[in-house]
Structure 1
Amino acid sequence: MTLIDVYNLRKEKISETELKDEIFSVPVKEHVLHEVVVSQVNRRRAGTAACKSRSLVNASTRKLYRQKGTGRARAGSASSPTRRGGGVAFGPQPRAYVKKVSKKVRKAALRMALSDKLTGSQLFIVEDFSLPEIKTKSFVGVMRRFDVTKALIVTADKNEKLEKSSRNVPWVKVLRSEGLNVYDLLKFDHLFLEKPAIDRIEEALIS
């Protein structure tokens, strides 16, 4: 078990909590993180790029001119890729870019990303992220107290005041514990965890 300080929104230490070593203190393997991030990014690709091949171009199939005697190269149809308005040779077609990664590997990568944040002193545990009102200025003030400029905040449940106060701040992202992912953990420099979210994360990653 690893002991870590728990803060309030004024960055005052109010208690300590334990983090399970099998989640927050595991060896980090870069190739595993890379594999999961590539899989995650690929899933976001639409894969809808397409163009017309010669079989899809709406053109006459009549032979353009006779085969011999004209002094020109032979030509079969107007849809040939070598002619203007013809089809595209070897052009893109709709496809899926999905790269499958097993659930076991995804969980291992999440544990590694969380361990990296703890090792690098980039993890803050907050007792409760309840803001008194929906106000961006107040939220930015909280972030300034912790001296962070690029942060991921993970909450246990829906927090409307926090989500609305932070949505116009481009360097902050708010997620609920069930949406925690490797890409966002690596993208943002600092990680804030609500204390109630820790139990849910540990439960999901141990099972």
Structure 2
Amino acid sequence: MALSISRRIVRSFGSLSALGFREYPTVAGRSFQASDLSDQIAGDNLLHAECFSFSKGGPSFLGFRRFSTTILTPDSNGGAFPSDLLSSKTVLTPERTIGLYEDLVVPVTNFHNEDHGLMVLAGDVFDVPIRKDIIHRVVRWQLAKRQQGTHSTKTISEVSGTGRKPWQQKGLGRARHGSLRGPQFRGGATMHGPKPRSHAFKLNKKVRRLGLKIALSARAAEGKLLVFEDLEVPTHKTKNIVNYVNQMENTKKLLLVDGGPINEKLKLATQNLHYVNVLPSIGLNVYSILQHDALVMSRDAVNRIVERMHTPINR
């Protein structure tokens, strides 16, 4: 490795010679040729070349540089990495533009914060443009569809009471009535009141599917989408889930999504926690995602959701 570095240095010196520069590298105050520098690098494990002097018929130009042939590994006992070799500049990561349908790479962990590699999230599912109007339509459709619609009132034919005319038509100076079961009397009927019916209305499947994609994309953009290898818990104790939720920042409600049927231990561990809910992938919906601050999905759940989003819509 040292020999290859020395050859590159010699070749660079050769290119300078072609340009008319004369190279006289000085190390620790003494001058020597490029061949000496090559031997010095090949013989030493770590070489500090303090300055190089290049001149072309005028004042010399000094360039400071350092060459290192030491390989530092976690198992090496060479001490800490030299601080002067580390960059002091702040590395700024450019903000990602949302809605470009780009695939996302996220780490895969578990409840024990163990590393299980990486996973690629499909861009057409987890990186779609955010549209609040679609979310509003889907949420209204969900709430209307789940409304029971069992409210009911009695009409004049359903109210109990006599059908006799309360008094004669004329002669008493009172208003004319034919029944005491009318809506103007106490205990009478209700006119145009609610009857049992369905409040559901139609919403196109492509709009419903787009709403779920937008909700998943919003959680991924916020950094609130976590992918686990699986949702296996060691015991059914609630304290395991409580300890994990306490480690998460800015999270008040957590939604766990598994691919298939919910594990019995996980179900018992979360049933006493009002801020932790568990759903299978087939039951994942927009309203549940919006109700929770963070979304935790297993690897199997992500694959099933992507497969469901890519399935053609039957018309």
Query: TM-score higher than 0.5 here?
Result: yes
CA contact (8 A) 1:131 1:162 kept: yes
Quick one: which amino acid aligns to residue 189 of structure 1? D
* 1:102 alignment partner in structure 2: 204
Matches within 5 A, 1:117-128: 117-128=219-230
**Structure 2 counterpart of 1:9, from 89, 111, 134:** 111
**Partner Cα distance (2:281, 2:226) in 1:** 15
* 2:179 alignment partner in structure 1: 77
Identify the range of structure 1 (108-117 vs 158-167) with the bigger mean alpha-carbon deviation.
158-167
Percent of residue pairs bearing the same amino acid type: 37
| Ranges in structure 2 where 5+ consecutive residues have no aligned partner | 1-102
SS state at 2:107 partner: strand
Partner deviation per Cα, 1:82-132 (whole Å, 9 max, x = no partner): 111211122211111012212211111110100000011111111122111
State the shift of 1:70 in Å. 0.5
CA contact (8 A) 1:32 1:109 kept: yes
**Structure 1 counterpart of 2:293, from 173, 189, 196:** 189
Matches within 5 A, 1:39-78: 39-78=141-180
**Partner Cα distance (2:148, 2:259) in 1:** 31
Identify the range of structure 1 (27-36 vs 108-117) with the bigger mean alpha-carbon deviation.
27-36
Number of aligned residue pairs = 207
SS state at 2:116 partner: strand
User: Which ranges of 4 or more aligned residues in structure 1 deviate by more than 4 Å?
Assistant: none
* 1:155 alignment partner in structure 2: 258
**Partner Cα distance (2:292, 2:279) in 1:** 12
**Partner Cα distance (1:89, 1:8) in 2:** 59
**Partner Cα distance (2:228, 2:296) in 1:** 7
* 2:243 alignment partner in structure 1: 141
CA contact (8 A) 1:10 1:145 kept: no
Q: CA RMSD in A?
A: 1.3
**Partner Cα distance (2:236, 2:114) in 1:** 22
Identify the range of structure 1 (72-81 vs 108-117) with the bigger mean alpha-carbon deviation.
72-81
2:300 is the alignment partner of 1:204: no
Partner deviation per Cα, 1:119-155 (whole Å, 9 max, x = no partner): 1111111112211111001121122223332111101
State the shift of 1:12 in Å. 4.1
2:120 is the alignment partner of 1:18: yes
2:162 is the alignment partner of 1:37: no
**Partner Cα distance (1:201, 1:31) in 2:** 22
**Partner Cα distance (2:281, 2:209) in 1:** 14
**Structure 2 counterpart of 1:179, from 280, 283, 287:** 283
Which protein has greater RCO, CA pairs closer than 8 Å, 6+ apart? 1
| Ranges in structure 1 where 5+ consecutive residues have no aligned partner | none
Quick one: which amino acid aligns to residue 295 of structure 2? L
